[in-house]
Amino acid sequence: MRYHWTQKDIFNACNKVQRLIDHETDPEKIAFYAQVIDSVNDYMFVTYADAHSRNTTYQEKVIEATECHLGYARYVQYMGAFLDELHPLYDDIVFLDETRLDLKSKRPDKFKFKRYTHEETLSLVKGFYADFDKELYDIFMKIYDERYKSVKFVKHYTDPDDPTFQESSGYCFYLGGINRAFISVDEQRGIAKVSDTVHEFGHAIRYSIHPSSAYSKENYYMSEIESVFPELVYLYEQGSKIDSFQSSLAMFDPIVHYYEKASLIRMQQMVINAWYDNRYRLDKNVYDRLREEAKMSRSDVYRALNTSIKVAGPYIISMGIVLELFNLYKRDKDKAMYLYKKIVKTPSLSDEFLKLLVLENELPLFEHLREETMQINANLANEFNMRF
Ligand SMILES: [Zn+2]
């Protein structure tokens, strides 16, 4: 058996949802099915065109970024808090990242990890969810049973001009109504293939419980909690036993990545301000001012404008929340699992829901973010000392 699905399978699945509409009289259900079909259209046509519209000028990009900052004010606020918390660790994070690159170029052999077959990967993922939680495992198994037609492993980070190009290391696409998941994971060496698959199944589990959560655009910033938490627990509990070096690297990766993205969003804000003061013109005055006041080069300005709050926000903010959960998990596993399941089982993760968790002190927001990040940094530094 091979792990495989194509766009045609999604198209066929979509037709099945269309047939449900044809035989349905309940207007609420019809509206939901229509939303499912819309999301497929978005995925197949709009997203691709969106992500690859290279003809957009920087003047247009700054206007778009301004709209995003207004529409996603809460994201900006949380991402700012994330950045401020991690700021004292900036030098450590950069140093570790450079050390990693340096070691990798000197000793590439130490970074050439074992290749896991698809079968091995899925069996490790299954083993993880069996230990993770009994109740979620039952839901996991329903998706797992369809794995040959619902999961595929393909190269993701490839040519941006290739129409099948995906910028992420995986994605999960879900069709409510017929309850079909389509999971794609980057084909890569090492246990990251396993942890990425654990991540995508985290999405699939929540979508199975609440199909509408796959399409909700509201409070999208909490949408990665369901996936990043099991991924982190996998690396901590099982990945580290297979290979502590790889698991330390995989835990450190998002820290560097999200710190950089959050910094770019902050720079984006500065570009918007300078542009605004310059009467909405992105010209030499703006670049000069940013260079003087914020030490930003032109390429920094371009990188900042090419970053999207909408895309980066959910990962950064969810990661901050997940590290709180993870901190709790190490102290009180039952309570952390109880909270995680509460999140996964809540149909709509509203601001009020999060506020309540924070207020009841069940999940203090970003309180242990720095501590957990320091631990992740220390683990990696320790691995470097041991191995090189
Ligand atoms: Zn995800």
Beta bridge partners of 180: 175
pLDDT of 271 higher than 90: yes
Mean pLDDT of 16-20: 95
Residues 139 and 179: their CA atoms lie apart, in Å, by: 12
Cα 256 to ligand 1 centroid, rounded to whole Å: 17
Cα 201 to ligand 1 centroid, rounded to whole Å: 9
- AA letter at 241: K
Cα 66 to ligand 1 centroid, rounded to whole Å: 26
Q: Please report which confidence band the pLDDT of residue 147 belongs to, taking 50, 70 and 90 as the band edges.
A: very high
Cα 200 to ligand 1 centroid, rounded to whole Å: 6
| Cα atoms in the Cβ-side hemisphere of radius 13 Å centred on 285 | 10
Mean pLDDT of 304-330: 94
Cα 296 to ligand 1 centroid, rounded to whole Å: 31
Cα 276 to ligand 1 centroid, rounded to whole Å: 34
Cα 318 to ligand 1 centroid, rounded to whole Å: 10
Residues 316 and 82: their CA atoms lie apart, in Å, by: 8
pLDDT digits (tens, 9 = 90+) for 169-196: 888 989 999 999 999 999 999 999 999 9
pLDDT digits (tens, 9 = 90+) for 96-134: 999 999 999 999 999 999 999 999 999 999 999 999 999
Q: How big is the CA angle at 263 (ends 250 and 352), to the nearest 5 degrees?
A: 85
